[in-house]
A and B are shown apart, each in its own frame.
Chain A
Amino acid sequence: MDSSLYPWFISQGVLAQLPKKQMQSTKFYKNLIAAFTSKGKLYGVPKDNSTLGLLINKDMFKKVGVDPKTIPTSYAGLIKWLPGFQAKLNKAYGKGKVTAMTYDQDMARNLAIMIAKGGKPVKNNGKANLASAQVVKNLGLYKKLVNTGAVATAKDLGSGDNGTAFGTGKVAMTEEGNWTYQVQKKQYKTNFEVLPMPTYQGKQRGMIFTVGWGENAESKNKKLDNAWIAYVTSKKEMSVWAKTVGVMPSRPDVAKAIKLTKDSNLDTWLKATNYSTVWQEGNTLTTINTSYQNFISDAMNVKMTIKQAMIKADKQANAAISNSK
């Protein structure tokens, strides 16, 4: 089950409690275990881990003569720095050929920023609260990025996703997850480096995506199920799995054992697990995100203010939610 669906499964009461000790819950990244824990009880075991990092195209930086070390580490710094960098890209590649950076219009990517400084996009009762003051203020970050003229979505550039835009040389920097690692290396042969996520309001913020094993509350053979989950998430089995499939493990000891930490790029992604937010927020998140995606582009394309767009998004999401009551 996906971390974002976990609260829904819990609300339906369909998950069985799992023995923490047998599952070696202390061996996992804390953030990940917390995502499958309710009221101190464990209901799921994370089987993998994906985080975001800032990918930069080293060849492009070389060509325009910018040292990657000079890239600001905060969004505030980036907003000042990006226009100059875009100008250099235009000079080297021609106007409109390479964009400096891409961003996303998806709550699954934006949530970490939205919740900064106590932002609360979802109320405790599950209702959407996207238009609340702090959330709107936080979303203003994206508008500032867009206004630099150096930031666009991958779709704006005619690509399906950030990884594609980055791999095909349409963008010099992008926030993307470790799943793009193999494809960038083998298919696109991009010469890239992964930097930690920029800081916003003094802190690094990113997202974590994970899938966990759960057990049906009505399972006839809980002992066997527990043994199975413990087995597939054990250090040995996860090492084999993570190595063959090429995903990041949910246990730091596995990451060490298969030497992921030795690769500086993968290590950056692994470290992001500690500062990032798990993609999870109550059991109405899918509905709210659908509504968010529906209206956010208008806010970014200067048709309306963020506040206006989010008021519309709230209204539509909450109407859908009350239909389920």
Chain B
Amino acid sequence: MASNLEYRKPQKTGQKRRNRETRQAYLFLTPALIIIIIFFVAAIAFALFMSFNKVNMFSQQFRFTGFKNYLNAFSDKVALKALSNTALFSFVVVPLQTLIALVIAYGLSSHAVKFKKTFRLIYFLPTLTSSAALTLIFMFIFNVAGPLNNFFMSIGFYNKPINFLQNPAYSLKVIMVMNIWSTVPTYMTIYLASLVDLPESFYEAAEMDGATSWDKLRYITVPYLRPITTYVLLTGIIGTFQMFDQAFIFSNGSGGPNNSTLTLALMIYNYAFGSLNTMGYACALAILLTIIIFAVSRLAEKINGGNGLQ
């Protein structure tokens, strides 16, 4: 846990300084901690409590059932299917969205590019387009007689239109495209905000050594952005594992056709807010999902090379 700050400190005043720093740190953290204790710790504790009960939300009745909800979850084949959809979704979307965001940000940060502000504004717009409008546009693009089918058929990819929206083999992929399209701008903006602080002298020095653009990206930009990449990867993993609204809109909440768009978050939603008294089961699934996300995130952090602290 030794940080860079520590060894620079004069030995004599080390202890005193440490105490002062600890005090300061907690002062900085206190307001955030208060909110977190009330609205996260207490709420999560309540959800945890519910996960061990059979809950009737309407009449506020709780009946302790021990690990029954968890045991049910482990033998729930539908949950397994939802997990595999979710994992596949994350596995495809996270690397792609990170890569595209990084490349576009790198390109845009180049000093050779003019009209940066305009590009940035345009790239930011997808985050603003309402999800209702997006659904409409994507349904139009991907429908049987839509432009995408026409395009692929005109270049001779296939000659019978594909029912992207109702064919289980394609529906999840359509949602992947939608998701990547709408998340890249957020991450690109974050990358850019960090890239403006990358000293130009790093690049200049590299150019003198005859580095190509690729070398600069590979050996300067990517390592410099590592902490931000950790952030992008982790929030990407969390976002994809909790993916809900697009699947919901797409399948009218059913997760169909044939469970192909069923995600864990959609399943949790259906159990929590459906007409059955299954809030307890929904909470158990949510707790399990949290554990899975945490494990996957740690793995991604390791692959990306630490969180910047160790």
Contacts and interface: CB of A to CB of B under 8 A. Distances in A.
Contact of A323 (B77, B256, B262, B278): B278
Contacts of A297: 166, 256-258
Interface stretch (A141-149, A256-264, A279-287): A279-287
Contacts of A153: 166
Contact of B254 (A156, A158, A294, A303): A294
Given A157-B145, A298-B168, A301-B163, A324 B278 contact: yes
A5 interface: yes
Contacts of B166: 153, 155-156, 297, 301
Interface in A150-178: 153, 155-158, 160
Contact of B274 (A12, A158, A287, A319): A287
Contacts of A283: 275
A96 B262 CA distance: 31
Contacts of B69: 323
B143 A158 contact: yes
B185 interface: no
A323 B140 contact: no
B275 A287 contact: yes
A294 B255 contact: yes
A38 interface: no
B58 A14 contact: yes
Interface of B: 56, 58-59, 69, 72, 76-78, 136, 139-140, 143-146, 163, 165-168, 251-259, 262, 270-271, 274-278, 281
A324 B277 contact: yes
A5 B275 contact: yes
Interface in A287-325: 287, 290-291, 293-295, 297-298, 301, 303, 312, 316, 319-321, 323-324
Contacts of B275: 5, 8, 283-287
A309 B258 CA distance: 9
B281 A291 contact: no
Given A160-B139, A319-B77, 12 more contacts: A8-B275, A158-B144, A290-B254, A290-B270, A293-B254, A294-B257, A316-B259, A320-B271, A320-B278, A324-B276, A324-B277, A324-B281
A107 B167 CA distance: 20
A316 B262 CA distance: 12
B274 A157 contact: no
Contacts of B252: 106, 293
Interface in A268-282: none
Interface of A: 5, 8, 12, 14, 96, 106, 153, 155-158, 160, 283-287, 290-291, 293-295, 297-298, 301, 303, 312, 316, 319-321, 323-324
A311 to B, nearest CB: 13
The 5 closest A-B pairs by CB, nearest first: A158-B143, A294-B256, A324-B276, A293-B254, A297-B257
Nearest to B76: A319
Which of A5, A284, A297 counts the most chain B CB atoms within 10 A?
A297
A14 B281 CA distance: 23
Contact of A14 (B59, B72, B168): B59
B144 A295 contact: no
Contacts of B274: 286-287, 290
A39 B251 CA distance: 37
Nearest to A323: B281
Contacts of B165: 155
A280 B72 CA distance: 29
13 contacts: A14-B59, A96-B145, A157-B144, A285-B275, A287-B274, A290-B253, A293-B252, A294-B251, A294-B257, A294-B258, A297-B166, A316-B78, A323-B69
Contacts of A14: 58-59
A301 B140 CA distance: 20
B169 to A, nearest CB: 10
A323 B59 contact: no
Nearest to A13: B59
A160 B133 CA distance: 12
